[in-house]
Amino acid sequence: MNVRILVANASHVGYAERICELMYISALERGTGIARRSPEYIREKMNSGKAVIALDGKQLVGFSYIETWSHKSFVANSGLIVDHAYRHLGIASRIKKRIFNLSRKMYPQAKIFGITTGAAVMKINSKLGYRPVPFSELTHDEAFWKGCRGCRNNDILMRNDKRMCLCTGMLYDPAEHLKRKTTNSINQKK
């Protein structure tokens, strides 16, 4: 096995249908709803360099993409999927780290966030520096919250005026990490 994690581009658009299929299967298995995306949407993310793809030779292994919200002040790393045959091998962590680094490079001042019910994703996010937050600290962009309509728990979110749901909100704020880095640097000099 030689899995490569690459920034997706136009040469990968042939994988879009299978990526959408894997996202749908994953949503069914978890009993929640990943926002459904069309193959055209996935192709656009690849063509614009806002996605990463994991390949074992020519075999699709996994995928994730970048979405921006609130005038690019918030970024979400979305659609993280790994094919069943490659699960429990650390591939999701590698994909997540690559899409996180791509997001930081493309949008260095943006807050990176996600919502999830998955303990594994929460663990990966924590290692990258995310922290759990109330939904009030996430984007208020209505287009983001429309993506939750496909989830079976959407009624919970709506009943609570988008303040809480079964998902956990997680946030990486670059300003917080810069402040910690500066504080640590000052403390080391003392």
Residue-wise pLDDT tens digits, 76-101: 999 899 999 999 999 999 999 999 99
Q: Which of 58-62, 143-147, 172-176 has the lowest mean pLDDT?
A: 143-147
> What b/e sequence results for 127-146 when a residue is b if at least 16 CB atoms lie within 10 Å of its CB, and e otherwise?
ebbbeebebeebbebeebbe
Can you give the CATH number for the domain in which 170 is found? 3.40.630.30
Total structural domains in the chain?
1
164-177 mean pLDDT: 92
Structural domain containing residue 51: 3-189
Q: Are 13 and 46 in contact (CB under 8 A)?
A: yes
